[in-house]
Structures are given as C-alpha cells and as structure tokens.
Chain A
Amino acid sequence: GAVVSQHPSRVICKSGTSVKIECRSLDFQATTMFWYRQFPKQSLMLMATSNEGSKATYEQGVEKDKFLINHASLTLSTLTVTSAHPEDSSFYICSATSVFGSGTRLTVV
C-alpha cells in the first residue's frame, strides 16, 4: 500500500533556531500534501496545503513566515519551523491522499 515517510521522528532544538521536517511519498506521486499539527490529547489541526510547484495554502491563523512549506517535487514536501519558540513545540504530521506519516515530535528548549 501507499506509504508516507516522515523524518525526523523526534527533534529537539534551541529557541531561535530553525528546524526542517521532511515528508516523502515513497511509492506514489503526490501533487498535494497536507501538514497538520497536534497538541497532546487533541485532534489534528490542518496547518497548510502543500502544492507541488506552487505556493502553499495556509489555514487561517497559521503564520506562513514561521512555517515555511516547500513542495519542490512530486514526492517531497518540507516544513521548516523558523525561529522556533517553546510554544511551537508540538507533534507535526504530514499526509498525502488518505495516508499519514508517522509524525515528528518537535521540542523547543
């Protein structure tokens, strides 16, 4: 079946630095990928829609300058959390079609 690979699974970074998260569709092409954020014991919140070869579409309230999305190929989308702060600590998950990646636990210290 279709597989979405997400990397890294865990990352700890210092406040003020940037972190990049990769999302790859392993055996299929995805012109559209989605990025979600999930707080503990809460549901998934859609952050943005990543479109191959064009700008991402951000949901209301999501800072596009803080959460940079690049979808340079049909199998790879990246989310960069810029100038990270402790409040950015969360579980970030990507998806392509109905398949989700395994998530990235970001901790900003």
Chain B
Amino acid sequence: QQQVKQSPQSLIVQKGGISIINCAYENTAFDYFPWYQQFPGKGPALLIAIRPDVSEKKEGRFTISFNKSAKQFSLHIMDSQPGDSATYFCAATRGYSGGSNYKLTFGKGTLLTVNP
C-alpha cells in the first residue's frame, strides 16, 4: 500500500514556466511534509518542507501548497530554469518533534525537465 502518491511521473516545462508536482497522502497521522530534489548519482537534498498547520510556504521560487482536508500537497516551481531539471520527491512522516523522528515515506518521484 503506497501511502504517498505522487504525480506526474515526468514533466517537461519551458524555461520561465511554472512546474507543478502533486502529492496525496493517506495517513492522517503524518505531520511533516518535505520535498526533495535529487540529481543523478547524488543523494536527495531538502528543498522545502511544511507542517499541516499552515496552508502555504514559500522559499524563493519554491512554494508548497497544503490542503489538509483533501490530504494533498503540491510543489510549485516558479520561473523554472534548466538547472532545476532533476527528480523531485515528496515525502511524509509522523511523530515530528523538533527533528527527533524522520522516518520518511516517499512518493515515487517526478522527473522534471526544463527546456531552455
């Protein structure tokens, strides 16, 4: 049973466009939702994260929108650049308390390609 469903599997965007990746979760006990960016041959890097007590969080060109009632959250990349081309993973975990528990459940990933 996949607890975090991510879509689309792949995404092609033109430079300057908006990239949108969606995730849905099932476990209402999840209380921390990070997004990771991964380049080939590298470990995932934390991009941005949100907790369910806020509906939106923005950091630079990256924004997470969170809909608790629908159990959905999404990543928006504004002004997408070729350097943003990577695989993006959403994730979720529960029992978050100041960083003491990060057993993450990952989505299957989205391969983003930003054309110049």
Contact = CB atoms under 8 A, between A and B. Distances in A.
A43 interface: yes
A10 to B, nearest CB: 9
B69 interface: no
Contacts of A98: 34, 46, 49, 99, 102, 104
Contacts of A102: 42-43
Nearest to B6: A43
Contacts of B99: 97-98
Taking residues whose C-beta sits less than 8 angstroms from the other chain, chain B's interface range is: 20 to 34
A96 B34 CA distance: 14
A100 B89 CA distance: 13
Contacts of A44: 44, 89, 104, 106
Most buried by B among A34, A95, A98: A98
Interface in B38-92: 41-46, 49, 89
Most buried by B among A43, A49, A95: A43
Contacts of B101: 32
B103 A46 contact: yes
Interface of B: 34, 36, 41-46, 49, 89, 99-109, 111
Interface of A: 4, 6, 31-32, 34, 41-44, 46, 49, 91, 93, 95-103, 105
Given A42-B108, A93-B44, A101-B43, 4 more contacts: A43-B106, A91-B41, A95-B43, A100-B36
